Amino acid sequence: MDYLLTEQQTMIRDLARKIAQEKIKPVAAQYDESEEFAWPIMKVLAESDLFGVYIPEAYGGLGGGIMDMCLVTEELSRACGGIALGYAGTGLGTLPILLHGSEEQKKKYLPDIARGKRLAAFCLTEAEAGSDAANMKTTARKEGDKYILNGTKQWITNAGEAEIYTVIALTDKAKGVRGASAFIVEKGTKGMEFGKKEKKMGIRASATREVIFTDCEVPAANLISREGMGFIVALKTLDTSRPGVAAQAVGIAQGALDHAVDYSRTRVQFGQPISSFQAVQHMLADMGTQVEAARALAYSVARMVDAGVKSVSKESAMAKLFASDVAMKVAVDAVQILGGYGYMRDYPVEKFMRDAKITQIYEGTNQIQRNVVAAHMIKETLKK
């Protein structure tokens, strides 16, 4: 299907697809089993300039946007959602700087990220602040020309591997969310440590750890925007990044569908390929239709972001929840089509099913996304 990509976007997609098929697909099962972070793949992506597709040319990037990031994320996820997350998680950690950082901060950090020299991570979630992000406890106290951070961030993608962390912390606890601020913290900063690497159901090639701050001294120059803007920075970041989660989900769904179609053509039962059975054909047709619908919505919202549409909260939530629900359904159906083989690790569809599940949970559970969508719909109706 023609999605009206520009010439550069087509080249980016094709390059990402080539890397996914030639470099990631052959080692996806290996990294899923070992749970290692795929640094060799990150280096290939860096050498291919894919980390810079959404970063302006002024900071060493290719000058594209969220749509370009989505294209890369989708193609990589089609081969392995976990390995792809090293790339996508860096995009999430970069967005606060890209959207709200000062010129000095952009010049200091974005070129290294664009070259893939340093990965990034986004630190918002805490043990008591998941869906209820306003319940965060991490604090940042100003002392002279620095801030002192204390607290623990949980389930942070790329933690321990990334060099640049964007962190949301409270500078004024009395103000609640209006007292939150955003900071850039570099790996190696005194008082910053990492917890154990989490053992997960899926996306096992992705590093997930706690990030622990104990009297961690951060230069005042690393404050993003100004004090009290942290929650706004976080919300804007998530509105902008959720099409990327949708793209990851689409890639996982497409990967599962690819295997299901291929298997159906070669698996013979009752003397004929199971692809000749109408029951299987209908499953494949529904799966294919759902994937295309999810892709179209994800691309549409990504283009809205790049066009500078003022508020995309509703549409971004829609794309994330729909695509991730599709990924889960398509992956489960792919396992069903493969039957007993689909349940075995020798075949990749069980991994796609495990990887798909997290897309319904992180960056805002789908229940929260539905709350967001409904709230916007009701508000829009009241304005009429």
Indicate whether 277 and 222 sit together in one domain. no
Is residue 39 classed exposed, middle or buried when 0-12, 13-18 and 19+ CB atoms within 10 A define those classes? Answer: exposed
CB 320 within 8 A of CB 242: yes
Indicate whether 114 and 125 sit together in one domain. no
When pLDDT is averaged across residues 277-281 and rounded to a whole number, the result is: 98
The residue with tokens 């023609």 is 2
> Regarding predicted confidence, which is higher, 176 or 167?
167
From the list 160, 138, 157, 159, the residue with the least C-alpha distance to 149 is 138
Among residues 185, 208, 230, which one ends one of the domains?
230
Q: What pTM, to 2 d.p., does this model score? A: 0.97
Indicate whether 125 and 209 sit together in one domain. yes
Indicate whether 140 and 186 sit together in one domain. yes
Indicate whether 128 and 215 sit together in one domain. yes
Query: Is-catalytic flag, 74?
Result: no
Instruction: Note the pLDDT of residue 93.
Output: 98
Is residue 384 classed exposed, middle or buried when 0-12, 13-18 and 19+ CB atoms within 10 A define those classes? Answer: exposed
- Concatenate the DSSP letters of all residues of 125-185 into one string: -BTTBSS-GGG---EEEEETTEEEEEEEEEEEETTTT-SEEEEEEES-GGGGGGGEEEEEE
DSSP 193: E
Is residue 2 situated within a structural domain?
A: no
Instruction: Note the pLDDT of residue 382.
Output: 84
Indicate whether 239 and 374 sit together in one domain. yes
The tens digit of pLDDT for each residue in 104-115 reads: 999 999 999 999
Is residue 46 situated within a structural domain?
A: yes
Residue 342 pLDDT class (50, 70, 90 cuts): very high
Residue 288 has pLDDT above 80, yes or no: yes
The fraction of the chain above a pLDDT of 90, given in percent, is: 96
Residue 49 has pLDDT above 90, yes or no: yes
Query: CB-hemisphere CA count at 13 Å for 207?
Result: 23
Indicate whether 149 and 61 sit together in one domain. no
Single out the catalytic residue among 198, 315, 363, 380: 363
Indicate whether 165 and 292 sit together in one domain. no
Is residue 1 situated within a structural domain?
A: no
Domain carrying residue 50: 7-118
**Could you give the number of structural domains in the chain?**
3
172-176, 277-281, 296-300: least confident range: 172-176
When pLDDT is averaged across residues 314-332 and rounded to a whole number, the result is: 98
